[in-house]
Amino acid sequence: MPRRKPLGLSLFWRTFFLLALLLAGGVFAWLQTLRALELEPRAVQAAQQTAGLVNLARAALKTTDGISRVALMKSLTAQGGARVSPREPADTWETFETDRFSRRVGQELRSALGEDAVVARSVNGVPGLWVGFSIDRERERDRFWLQAGPEHAASVNRETLLTWTGIALLATLVGSVAIASLINRPLKQLSFAASRIREGDLDSRLDENTLTSEIREVNMGFNRMARELARVEEDRAVMLAGISHDLRTPLARLRLETEMSVEDEEAKRNMAMDIDQLDAIIDKFMDYARPGDSQLRPVLVSSVIDREASLFRDPGQIRITSRVAIDLQVMADETELARVFLNLFENARRYGRGTETGRAEVAVSYVKTGPWAIISVRDHGSGVAPEKLSQLTTPFFRGDAARTAATGAGLGLAIVEKSMQRMGGTLELANAPDGGLVAHLRFKRAT
C-alpha cells in the first residue's frame, strides 16, 4: 500500500492558530477574572444603596402618624426614586435569590436590615427589587414594601458581556493575523529566494538591513551562499567549455591520423567509432551542464519527433512509431524538446531492445488532460526493477548490469529530466504492464 502523505499546515497557519489560541485563552481568563472581581463589589454596593433607602423610609414612616404616611409615601416615591407601599397579607411574591449575584445581594440586605427582611424579585406580578420591612421589628407591625428599580441590583448585562467578548475575539483574530504575517514574512521571503535559486536564478538576494539581528544574519549567510553558487556555476561553465575545447582538438587529430595511418579498414572503423563515442560523451556533459535559459513558445511536437527519429537510420537497431497528432502544440523550447526526444530514443536504442528481435520497438503516443498534454515514449525491452525507477534520472546511473553493457555516460535520462524542468514540465518513468520502460512527458498545451 502506498504511504499516505501526511497532512500539514504552513508555518503561517500554525503560528496563527497558536497565537489565536493563546490570545483567546487570555480573553476568556480576563472575562472570568472580571466577573469574579466585579461580582462582590457590585453586590455589596447594590445592597448598601437599597438598605439605605429602606432605613430612610423606615425612619420617616416611624416618626409620622398614620394620617400623614400616605403623603409621605408619595413624597418618597417622587424624590427618592423608590416606591413605598403597604404590605398586605394577600400579597404574592417571588424570591430574589436566583443566582450567585442575587444571593449575595440578599445576604447583604438581611445582614443590614435584619433576618426578618424579605427580598423579592416581583410582588403581585410587578418586577423589581422588592424589600419587605416593618417599622416595629419586635412586634412586626406596620409592614411595608420598598420597590427599587432593577438597576439597583443588576449584574453586568449578558448581552454586554457577549458584545465585549465578541469584540475582544475579533481583535484577537486580527492581531493574530498581523503578528503571524510579521513573524513569517522573512521566512516566506527566504523560501521564495531559495526556490528561485533552485530554479537557476542565482541573482536572488535578501535584505541585509532588516532590524531583527537573527534574520539579518540568516539573510547575509544566504546571500553569501548565492554568490558562491553563482561563482561556482560560472567556474563550472568556463571549465566545461575549456574541457570540451581541449578534448575535441586531440580527438580531431586522432580521427585524422586514424584515417591516414591505419590501413586495416575494420580497425579504422572501430577507432572512428571510439572517437565518435568520446565526442558524444562530451556532448552529453555539455548538455547536462547547459544553463536554464529556455524560451518557451508553441512548438509542433510531431515535427520534432519526426526530425529526431529520422536520425536513427538503422532499422535493425531501432524502429520508432509515432501516433502524435500533427497539430498538437505544446509550450516548449524547440531545441530543448529535440534534446528530450533524442535522448529518449537513444536510451531506447541502447537499453530497450527486445529479446527476440534484438531491435528496439519504440511507440510514441499522447493524451490531452485539461490544459496539459502527456506524451508517452515507450520501448518493449526488459524494463527496470521497480526499486530502481527513481534512480534512473540520477547522473551516471544505469539500471542494471545487463543494461550497462551498452556504452554511454549515464546522463541521458538526467538530461531529459533537467530539460523538462527548464520547460515547466515533468518526467515520470514507469514500467509498462506488458513489459518495457515508458516515459511520460507532461507539457503545458499551447492555446
Distance (Å) of CA 85 to CA 65, 76, 106, 165, 344? 15, 10, 20, 41, 105
The pTM for the full model equals: 0.48
Q: What does each of the 447 residues of the chain score in pLDDT, given as a tens digit?
A: 344 544 445 666 777 777 777 777 777 777 777 666 666 777 778 788 888 888 888 888 787 776 677 777 777 666 656 788 888 888 888 888 877 777 888 888 888 888 888 888 888 888 888 888 887 655 556 788 888 865 555 555 566 667 777 777 777 778 777 777 777 777 788 888 888 777 767 777 888 887 777 778 888 888 888 888 888 777 776 676 666 666 766 777 777 777 777 677 777 777 777 777 677 667 666 666 666 556 789 999 999 999 888 888 788 888 999 999 999 999 998 888 888 898 899 888 888 887 777 788 999 999 999 999 999 999 988 888 888 888 888 776 665 544 444 455 567 788 888 888 888 899 999 998 888 899 999 999 987
At which residue does the C-alpha cell 508555518 appear? 11
**For 69, how many CA atoms within 13 A lie in the half-sphere containing its CB?**
17
CB contact at 8 A, 413 and 343:
yes
Strands 141-148 and 372-378: unpaired
Residue 390 · residue 382 · CB < 8 Å = no
* DSSP track, 69-119: HHHHHHHHHHHHS-EEEEPPTT--EEES--SHHHHHHHHHHHHHH-TT-EE
Q: Are strands 83-86 and 93-95 parallel, antiparallel or unpaired?
A: unpaired
Residue 310's pLDDT is what? 87
DSSP letter for each residue of 112-171: HH-TT-EEEEEETTEEEEEEEEEEETTTTEEEEEEEE-GGGG----HHHHHHHHHHHHHH
Q: Do 366 and 323 contact (CB within 8 A), yes or no? A: yes
d(CA 120, CA 118): 6
Q: What one-letter code names the amino acid at 7?
A: L
CB within 8 Å of 54: residues ≥ 6 apart: 109, 113, 117, 131, 133, 146
Distance from C-alpha of 168 to C-alpha of 39, rounded to nearest angstrom: 21
Residue type, 110: R
What's the confidence (pLDDT) of residue 391?
81
Taking the CA atoms of residue 351, residue 353, residue 356 and residue 357 in that order, the dihedral angle to the nearest 10 degrees is: -150
User: Residue 101: CB partners within 8 Å, gap ≥ 6?
Assistant: 39, 42, 43, 155
Structural domains for the chain: 11-159 (3.30.450.300), 201-291 (1.10.287.130), 294-444 (3.30.565.10)
Q: Please, which residues have CB within 8 angstroms of residue 308's CB and are 6 or more apart in sequence?
A: 338, 341, 342, 345
Per-residue model confidence (pLDDT) at position 410: 65
Q: How far apart are CA 146 and CA 28, in angstroms?
A: 38
